[in-house]
Amino acid sequence: MGKRGPGAGKLRAAAKAYDQAAQTSHPWEAEGLAEWERVCAFLEALPIVSGLRAGDQLELLNFQRQFVRGVYEPRTDDGDRLVRLAALSVARGNGKSALLSGLSLAHLLGPCAEPYGECYAAALDREQAGVLYHQTRAYIEATPWMAARVNIKDWHKEIIDEENNSRWRALTSDARKAHGLAPSFWVADEVAQWRSRELWDNLATGMGKRTSALGVTISTQAADDLHFFSEMLDAEPVPTIYTQLHAAPDECDLDDPAAWAAANPALGEFLNEEQFADAAGRAIRSPSFAPSFRLLQLNQRVAAEGRFIEQADWEANGDPFDPIELEGERCFGGLDLSSTRDLTAFALYFPDHGKLLAWHWFPADTIAKRVETDRVPYDRWSEEGWAETTVGNARDDLAIALQLADIRSRFDLQGIAFDRWQITRLRKLLSDEGIDLPLVDFVPGFKSYAAAVDAFETALLGRKLQHNNNPLLRWQAGNVIVETDPAGNRKPAKNKSLDRIDGVVSAIMACGLAATVEPTAEPGLCWI
């Protein structure tokens, strides 16, 4: 069958380099090798496909060889493979994708292949599944004999071995099509980040349809003991399950090289020690980053979410100043609109002066109830001029629009980052009133917030976020909790924070816009 579909040309080109007559045998076909030795030989025949050593042969590190031996060496009394589930828990950046992809190829068309095999690569989402797929495909395109015998369906992320009629397919953890599968081999990437175990259970139970099926996961630890991956690591040892954990001691110092090495057996090999040391230094300086560092890079079982702002850091930025001094100066805004009866916040960040101004609005008729429910003195803050009250019991968009227009007239406002939620009514009002504001769409996800949170934190730790001791911001600063995705990106989590954080969220958006927008850019464009 001819190669077809997007990218087929690369496969045809690679296949042409394969001289079947010259290929007498593969290294893993040598006589007398145990299965684990054949798997190691197969993996070390694969080429490195990226980085400075691209084109060289893969060399297994000791911890990888230990894992392969632990999984494939144990045998039943009948000589069959004993281990049916295996887990390697190691910190991020220790070559998990390369090992998972290599093992899946060993079962698709290598020493562990079987006729009509079903190999699956499961990951948290399509993006992460795509990483495994592209790594696996890269191995094939760089190995002529593999390219000569497979057909690849890019759209479905599926690879078919036309010699033994086996197939490889990528799945995501929220898949609903796993019922009825009969996997001969499956891998699960970063299973500690999965929100549901449904796919895991479907793959594990589907293995009963095969005589020697195997499931393998490589992941950092989960954040708590209740996750099913934690339960797997903590369970009493059984012969059919192999686990291998590399983690730093619970109470270790963040700058302890021995602790780094315990969780990162590839440190100094393909994991850069200088970059790791820089990350450790950042975790020491930033308490909000420390939990993420411990979870992802020390492989400790801790929640990556943590209180974002330390009181000492906030108070260090409390030198008073007169806002009049900033009139006419370049600044960037962040607007966090409330629901109908809630708090609306607007922040201005002046990067050339390292100063922050904030405005808050809430309906006057809700103040008494809000003081009772939030347990903070909104009434006093309003009397002292730190917050604006609007008429009635609902958000007054006209009052907010007019004050935003006044703010623009006083400062050199380069842009206002805003969340699309609740913005439609305000934008219409601005248009009706002829108020022109340089609005910049800010998508409230990890991608946008990651750089903004970093910019805000850099300004805070560098004493370049002077907030004039605004009491609303001070209260909110102690409430902020950040959440972290598998890649280490952070964003403020309103649903997890200790109380309201609207003003700080606005400030984060303003700092993010200041860090990513060129001063000469035209207003009104979507830069983020």
Q: What is the DSSP string of 15-35?
A: HHT--TTT----GGGSTT--H
Is the model's pLDDT at 237 over the cut of 50? Answer: yes
Q: What is the pLDDT of residues 357-374, one digit of tens each?
A: 999 998 888 888 877 677
Which tokens go with 438? 């340089």
pTM, entire model:
0.66
Architecture of domain 311-516: 2-Layer Sandwich (3.30)
Taking the C-alpha atoms of residue 495 and residue 247, their distance in angstroms, rounded to an integer, is 30
- Mean of the per-residue pLDDT values of the chain: 88
Taking the C-alpha atoms of residue 358 and residue 377, their distance in angstroms, rounded to an integer, is 17
Is the model's pLDDT at 256 over the cut of 80? Answer: yes
Is the model's pLDDT at 61 over the cut of 90? Answer: yes
Domain boundaries defined on the chain: 8-245, 257-294, 311-516
Taking the C-alpha atoms of residue 456 and residue 479, their distance in angstroms, rounded to an integer, is 16
Is the model's pLDDT at 144 over the cut of 90? Answer: yes
Which tokens go with 151? 């057909």
**Which of these CATH numbers, 3.40.50.300, 3.20.20.70, 3.90.230.10, 2.60.120.10, describes 8-245?**
3.40.50.300
**pLDDT in the model for residue 288:** 73
Given a contact cutoff of 8 angstroms between Cβ atoms, the answer to whether 69 and 61 are in contact is no
**pLDDT in the model for residue 525:** 37
Q: What is the pLDDT of residues 445-485, one digit of tens each?
A: 898 899 999 999 999 999 999 999 999 999 899 888 888 88
DSSP code at position 362: E
Taking the C-alpha atoms of residue 177 and residue 310, their distance in angstroms, rounded to an integer, is 46
Which tokens go with 318? 């409390």
**pLDDT in the model for residue 368:** 83
Q: Name 306's bridge partners.
A: 482
Taking the C-alpha atoms of residue 232 and residue 486, their distance in angstroms, rounded to an integer, is 20
Taking the C-alpha atoms of residue 219 and residue 187, their distance in angstroms, rounded to an integer, is 11
Residue with tokens 């590839």: 266
Given a contact cutoff of 8 angstroms between Cβ atoms, the answer to whether 335 and 512 are in contact is no
Q: What is the pLDDT of residues 487-520, one digit of tens each?
A: 888 999 887 776 789 999 999 999 999 998 655 4
Query: How confident is the model over 15-29, as a mean pLDDT?
Result: 73
- H/E segment holding residue 210: none
Question: In 3D, which of 5, 53, 45, 52 has the Cα closest to residue 29?
Answer: 45
